[in-house]
């Protein structure tokens, strides 16, 4: 019984942690972030399975995670109001070439990082950006100003 | 496409059924109590009857004496010991012996009204799979007072 309950609370904890960590860390996966996520996964596994080495335990814990994952995706799909609990809303970082400082601070993003993300999409300057949006998954999408 | 969807929901249904079974304590680790009453004493055994490889668990044996018991002895079937780690027995028995392949643990004498509670802590060897007899007999020396019939099932 307890392994299913532990898996349930671990799942809730993972949702909370991913919401608190923020999109930037989850999408960029710098070496430190990667190690942090691996260590976190190991700690979660220990908390869920504890000393259980059985295949039954694996099926119970893994199955509970799978069921909760399907349940959450259904809730997000079915109920619009629930979405912000599990998925952050897209965030506008640049509008008509002007940085929205409040949103950058909120996601702990620097101007240099946004500019670097723009250059990766062959946009030389943020002044040429109509919209820059931090998407739910942590990637920044750019819509350039129409030329001419 | 329809068959794929059906297969997906079937697998999810099976997983959900297993999770519900686990929540109901059907796949291990929840303790179950068994009581047997004899002329000289009552024996209660509380321990899980379903286990999984690697898990720690406790067995508690409670003896309530109704008459003097000179050599209270708990005799455990091999199911308690086969591929199980015994981490501790408290209180420690005054005597340990093998009795026809069973484990016999003898404790200090009991007077009427005395209660003996023995705690044993175990861990299941991960390769231990199957169903075994886990009967417990309460003896006064070689004389049977009462016994409980139990089995233990270890899931893979």
Summarised one tens digit per residue, pLDDT across range A84-120 is 888 888 899 999 999 999 999 988 888 998 999 899 9
Q: Which CATH number characterizes residue B55's domain?
A: 2.60.40.3670
Out of B18, B30, B156, name the one closest to residue A60 (CB). Answer: B18
A67–B19 CB contact, under 8 Å: yes
Q: Does ipTM top 0.95?
A: no
Do A38 and A108 reside in the same domain of the chain? no
Cβ contacts of B28 on chain A, cutoff 8 Å: 56
Quick check: is B4 in a domain?
no
Shortest Cα–Cα distance, B127 to chain A (Å):
9
Q: Which of A37, A66, A86 is the last residue of a domain?
A: A86
Do A11 and A42 reside in the same domain of the chain? yes
Do A75 and A97 reside in the same domain of the chain? no
pLDDT given for residue A13 in this prediction: 92
Shortest Cα–Cα distance, B5 to chain A (Å):
14
Do A13 and A49 reside in the same domain of the chain? yes
Nearest chain A residue to B11, by CA: A63
- Any B CB within 8 A of A38 CB: no
Do A33 and A95 reside in the same domain of the chain? no
- Domain span at residue A61? 2-86
Task: Give the residue from A138, A125, A126 showing the smallest Cα distance to A99.
Answer: A126
Nearest chain B residue to A1, by CA: B23
- Any B CB within 8 A of A12 CB: no
Report mean pLDDT in 10-residue bins for chain A, 148 residues.
91 87 66 84 91 91 94 90 84 92 89 90 91 88 80
Quick check: is B99 in a domain?
yes
A1–B55 CB contact, under 8 Å: no
Do A71 and A97 reside in the same domain of the chain? no
Quick check: is B87 in a domain?
yes
Q: Rounded CA gap, A75 and A16, in Å?
A: 16
**Interface A-B: count of C-beta contacts within 8 A:** 61
Shortest Cα–Cα distance, A3 to chain B (Å):
8
Out of B15, B24, B53, name the one closest to residue A63 (CB). Answer: B15
Q: Are B87 and B123 in contact (CB under 8 A)?
A: yes
Quick check: is B20 in a domain?
no
Give the three-class secondary structure for B66. Answer: coil
Do A138 and A80 reside in the same domain of the chain? no
CA angle A111, A114, A119 (to 5 degrees): 120
Do A8 and A67 reside in the same domain of the chain? yes
Sheet holding B102-106, edge to edge: B95-99, B102-106, B72-76, B136-140, B143-148
Nearest chain A residue to B12, by CA: A67
Shortest Cα–Cα distance, A55 to chain B (Å):
6
Q: How many domains does chain B have?
A: 1
A55–B156 CB contact, under 8 Å: yes
pLDDT given for residue A61 in this prediction: 93
Quick check: is B18 in a domain?
no
Q: How many domains does chain A have?
A: 2
Report mean pLDDT in 10-residue bins for chain B, 156 residues.
87 92 86 94 96 94 96 96 94 95 96 97 93 96 95 93
Q: Which CATH number characterizes residue A140's domain?
A: 3.30.240.20
Quick check: is B2 in a domain?
no
Shortest Cα–Cα distance, B73 to chain A (Å):
32
Q: Rounded CA gap, B129 and B53, in Å?
A: 8
Q: Are B66 and B39 in contact (CB under 8 A)?
A: yes
pLDDT given for residue A108 in this prediction: 84
- Any B CB within 8 A of A58 CB: no
Out of B15, B22, B156, name the one closest to residue A3 (CB). Answer: B22
Do A17 and A78 reside in the same domain of the chain? yes
Cβ contacts of A55 on chain B, cutoff 8 Å: 53, 155-156
Q: Which long-range contacts (CB under 8 A, 24 or more apart) does A115-118 make?
A: A117/A142, A118/A142
Backbone angles phi, psi at B53, to 5 degrees: -55, 130
Quick check: is B21 in a domain?
no
Do A7 and A69 reside in the same domain of the chain? yes
- Domain span at residue B80? 28-155
């Amino acid at each position: 019984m307890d392994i299913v309950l532990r898996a349930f609370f671990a799942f809730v904890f993972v949702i909370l942690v991913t919401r608190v960590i923020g999109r930037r860390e989850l999408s960029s996966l710098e070496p430190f972030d990667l190690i942090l996520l691996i260590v976190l996964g190991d700690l979660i596994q220990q908390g869920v399975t504890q000393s259980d080495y059985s295949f039954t335990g694996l099926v119970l814990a893994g199955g509970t995670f799978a069921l909760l994952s399907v349940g959450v995706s259904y809730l997000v799909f079915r109920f619009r109001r629930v979405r912000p609990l599990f998925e952050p809303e897209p965030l506008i970082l640049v509008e008509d070439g002007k940085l929205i400082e409040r949103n950058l601070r909120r996601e702990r993003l620097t101007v240099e990082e946004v500019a670097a993300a723009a250059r990766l999409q062959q946009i030389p300057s943020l002044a040429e950006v109509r919209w820059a949006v931090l998407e739910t998954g942590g990637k920044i999408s750019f819509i350039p100003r129409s030329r001419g | 496409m329809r068959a794929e969807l059906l297969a997906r929901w079937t697998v999810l249904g099976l997983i959900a059924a297993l999770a519900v079974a686990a929540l109901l304590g059907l796949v291990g680790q929840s303790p179950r109590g068994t009581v047997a009453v004899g002329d000289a004493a009552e024996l209660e055994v509380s321990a899980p009857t379903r286990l999984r490889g690697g898990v720690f668990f406790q067995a508690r044996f409670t003896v309530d004496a109704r008459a003097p018991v000179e050599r209270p002895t708990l005799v455990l079937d091999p199911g308690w010991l086969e591929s199980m780690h015994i981490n501790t027995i408290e209180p420690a028995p005054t005597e340990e012996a093998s009795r026809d392949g069973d484990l016999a643990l003898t404790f200090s004498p009991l007077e009427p009204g005395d209660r003996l509670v023995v705690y044993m802590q175990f861990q299941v060897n991960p390769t231990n799979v199957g169903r075994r007899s886990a009967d417990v007999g309460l003896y006064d020396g070689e004389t049977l007072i009462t016994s409980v019939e139990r089995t233990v099932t270890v899931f893979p």
